[in-house]
Amino acid sequence: MSDDVLAHVRALKAYGRSLCGNAADAEDLVQETLLRAIENAHSYRPGTHMRAWLFTIMRNRFYTDCRKRARERTGSEDCVSGGPVVAATQDWHMASQEMQQALREMPVHYREALVLVAVIGESYQHAAEVLDCDIGTIKSRVNRARAILRRRLHAEA
């Protein structure tokens, strides 16, 4: 099973980045996901989709961590250490930032569906398994998420 898990690390990193919003937290989430997958290897059913199983573990861990952070505030939200140090000077970087901001502001159920299908390349069926909903719901969410991005990014242009 370990070889199967390692084949999905890139996709886990991409999905983790979409959930967390930054690379450092995403790396931690991937590590935690892999640890949980190894700890719970006995619960994996051979023949099921490994990537969907791993994404489900990651998504559950992310939301558990969110609830935990909401209860345990560690610092002030207006702390200057969290602010940007150097302004972006390249257009592509700014476009990337605008895209990431638009994704962060999008309702989470649309963002998750879009990232799974359009960014990571999951099939609609596997995305439906990960998000525990119907395939038609996934198609609708992806379509609406794309429309939200188009409106948001063209409005700023």
**Predicted confidence pLDDT, tens digits, the chain (157 residues):** 555 778 889 999 999 998 888 888 999 999 999 999 989 888 888 878 888 999 999 999 999 888 887 777 666 555 656 666 666 567 777 788 888 888 889 999 999 999 999 989 999 999 999 999 999 999 999 999 999 999 988 876 5
Contact 58, 30 (CB under 8 A): yes
Residue 138, token pair as written in the block: 């996934």
Cβ neighbours, 10 Å, residue 19:
22
| Cβ contact 116:127 at 8 Å | yes
**How many C-beta neighbours within 10 Å does residue 34 have?**
19
One-letter amino acid at 56 equals T
What would you report as the CA-atom Rg of the chain, rounded to the nearest whole angstrom? 17
Query: Which residues, at least 6 apart from 36, have a Cβ–Cβ distance to it below 8 Å?
Result: 57, 61
